[in-house]
Amino acid sequence: MAQASTPATPLTQRDINGIMIGLMVAMFPGALDTTIIGPAMPTIGRELGDVEHLPWVVTSYLLVSTAVTPLYGKLSDIHGRRIMLIWAISIFAAGSVLCALSPSVVLLALARAVQAIGGGGLISLAMTIIGDIVPPRERPRYQIYTSVMWTGSSLLGPVLGGLLAEQWHWSLIFWINLPLCLAALLMTNGKLKKAPRHERPHALDFAGAVLLVVASVLLQLALSWGGTHYSWGSPQILLLLAASAIAWAGFVWRLRTAEEPLIPLSLFSNKVVLTATGSVGLAMGVFVALSIYVPIYFETILGLTATQSGLALLPLMMCTTIGALASGRAMAHLDRYKFVPLIGLMIGAISLLPIFWWPTSLSILTLETLLSIVAIGVGAIFPVTTVSVQNAVAVHELGTGTALITFLRNLGAAAGVAVCGTIVIAGSGHSPDMKMPGSTGADPAFVTQFSYVFLAGAIGLALAGLVLWAMEERPLAGRMRSGPIR
């Protein structure tokens, strides 16, 4: 149980900048790990002699990191941000060592699960600490830090992953995490001791935590396998969905009966939390689905090479930073701050329609322009929803609220990929990763069916905008709320 402590000395601007840099270094390994492994996957499968189980190297990380995110929020409210961040970095580093030493793909997938136990806390904890040290009105100004970090990982990851796997050894993509984690520990441990602390006793609901982990993992498995490995009506998918529904029902029951539930009921009755998380979950689902299926569209329908496809994807990945920066700066000065991402989402939805109508007729320049507009619109929603949730919850629920929005963003991403995977396969009979000769020789049925991915994306962004429209714009606090932060 936490004991009362005296408030920390007010942070200077230099202290805040130092903490922010340290947090970005802490977030970077987790962000980099989502992009660096892709280009190395073929090499890993070839050298370890197992291609069949290779997808689990990615799936295991996504499943576990998503499932443990809410736990970090609650644990940080109990034991403190600094302690939990140290644990997250340390577990991530230990998991990276296990990954680098793995002699088989199966063991590598298990090691990735260990790594994900730490990785699931890196980003949500860092965002929570930002909420601790920076008042809501000023928080969007610091979006530049996270934007630069995400852009750097998006650009550096694929290049570095391919280079290390081809020129040296695939294990280096995990070994490089060690100096990054060490730097993160050195840069955050001392500086976070200066951060204010909110003392509030909590108890961890272990039963609720187990039910949440089981429910989310089963749901993600169903969403990942449905329509790809198995048909949606297969016994395997129906069993997973039924088991997930039972676990979710148990989790809801636990929320209503536990003395202190894992996720406070006050969050579910908070309209800002519900609308913000719902909106960003829909937007994230569209963005992640496009980031996966647009390269397939470039290669299988337009006939681009893998290298050309990777370069053509850069505007989609990079322009989210522009949207986030613009939205963050506007939020710091506007009272009606949700209208910037709202307009961005609607324009993004409209921008996907020409690709749906003319999937083989648009020039590459036109496609790049449209995808850039979509990315700007999606990027604009991230700072607004995060800051709105942090501004709407009680101080002692800041960690849980921030982790909740990260958790639902990840679930939205899994759902978006599942929906688009089903669309691609449903009417064409082609696997999403099937290589086809190019736009002039592509099967018309496949082209037609694939075009519905962009229609689904447009609908998803429009729905995200409608949900965001319903979000209450509460005044942003202009200074730190009083009380210690943990």
- Residue pLDDT, tens place only, 392-411: 877 667 777 777 887 888 78
**Residues 58, 165: one domain?**
yes
Query: What is the rounded average pLDDT for all residues in the chain?
Result: 77
Residue 485 has pLDDT above 90, yes or no: no
Q: What pLDDT does 469 receive?
A: 92
**Residues 285, 421: one domain?**
yes
**Residues 250, 273: one domain?**
no
pLDDT grade for 137, boundaries at 50, 70 and 90: low
* Ranges assigned E (strand) in 80-160: none
Residue 148 has pLDDT above 80, yes or no: no
Residue 162 has pLDDT above 90, yes or no: no
Please state which of the ranges 54-58, 183-187, 319-323, 414-418 shows the lowest mean pLDDT: 54-58
Residue 110, domain CATH: 1.20.1250.20
pLDDT grade for 136, boundaries at 50, 70 and 90: low
Range of the domain at 301: 263-486
Task: Report whether 95 contacts 117 (CB < 8 A).
Answer: yes
pLDDT grade for 432, boundaries at 50, 70 and 90: very low
**Residues 361, 346: one domain?**
yes
Higher pLDDT, 89 or 172: 89
pLDDT grade for 440, boundaries at 50, 70 and 90: very low
Q: What pLDDT does 417 receive?
A: 74
Per-residue pLDDT tens over the stretch 163-203: 776 678 878 888 888 988 888 888 777 767 666 555 455 66
pLDDT grade for 479, boundaries at 50, 70 and 90: very low
Q: What pLDDT does 5 receive?
A: 41
End of a domain among 215, 238, 261?
261
Please name the residues in contact with 348: beta carbons below 8 A apart, sequence gap of 6 or more: 373, 374, 375, 376, 377, 378, 461
Per-residue pLDDT tens over the stretch 373-382: 999 999 888 8
Residue 431 has pLDDT above 60, yes or no: no
Please name the residues in contact with 339: beta carbons below 8 A apart, sequence gap of 6 or more: none
Q: What pLDDT does 347 receive?
A: 94
Per-residue pLDDT tens over the stretch 46-80: 777 766 666 677 777 877 887 787 778 777 777 77
Residue 131 has pLDDT above 50, yes or no: yes
Distance separating alpha carbons of residues 21 and 3, to the nearest angstrom: 29
**DSSP states along 400-458:** HHHHHHHHHHHHHHHHHHHHHHHHHHHTT---TT-----TTTS-HHHHHHHHHHHHHHH
C-alpha torsion angle, residues 182, 183, 187, 188 (rounded to 10): -50
The amino acid at 389: V
Please state which of the ranges 34-43, 106-115, 250-259, 430-439 shows the lowest mean pLDDT: 430-439
Residue 332 has pLDDT above 80, yes or no: no
Task: Report whether 70 contacts 404 (CB < 8 A).
Answer: yes
Half-sphere exposure of 25 (CA within 13 A, CB side): 19
* Nearest alpha carbon to residue 91 among 63, 120, 67, 62: 120
Q: What pLDDT does 245 receive?
A: 92
Please state which of the ranges 120-124, 204-208, 253-257, 316-320 shows the lowest mean pLDDT: 204-208
**Residues 131, 247: one domain?**
no
**Residues 168, 300: one domain?**
no
Count of structural domains, the chain = 3
Triad 88, 91, 96: Cα angle to 5°: 125
**Residues 162, 282: one domain?**
no
Q: What pLDDT does 439 receive?
A: 41
Written as six digits, the tokens of 339 are 């209208």
**Residues 41, 142: one domain?**
yes
Written as six digits, the tokens of 150 are 């995400």
- Determine what percent of the chain is predicted with pLDDT higher than 90: 12
End of a domain among 240, 261, 282?
261
Task: Report whether 110 contacts 60 (CB < 8 A).
Answer: yes
Q: What pLDDT does 482 receive?
A: 38
**Residues 138, 182: one domain?**
yes
Please state which of the ranges 56-70, 78-92, 117-131 shows the lowest mean pLDDT: 56-70
Residue 304 has pLDDT above 90, yes or no: no
**Computed over its alpha carbons, how large is the radius of gyration of the chain?**
22
Please state which of the ranges 38-47, 154-163, 236-245, 426-435 shows the lowest mean pLDDT: 426-435
Q: What pLDDT does 97 receive?
A: 92
Q: What pLDDT does 460 receive?
A: 92
**Residues 103, 251: one domain?**
no
**Residues 158, 244: one domain?**
no
Residue 161 has pLDDT above 60, yes or no: yes
**Residues 233, 358: one domain?**
no
Q: What pLDDT does 348 receive?
A: 93
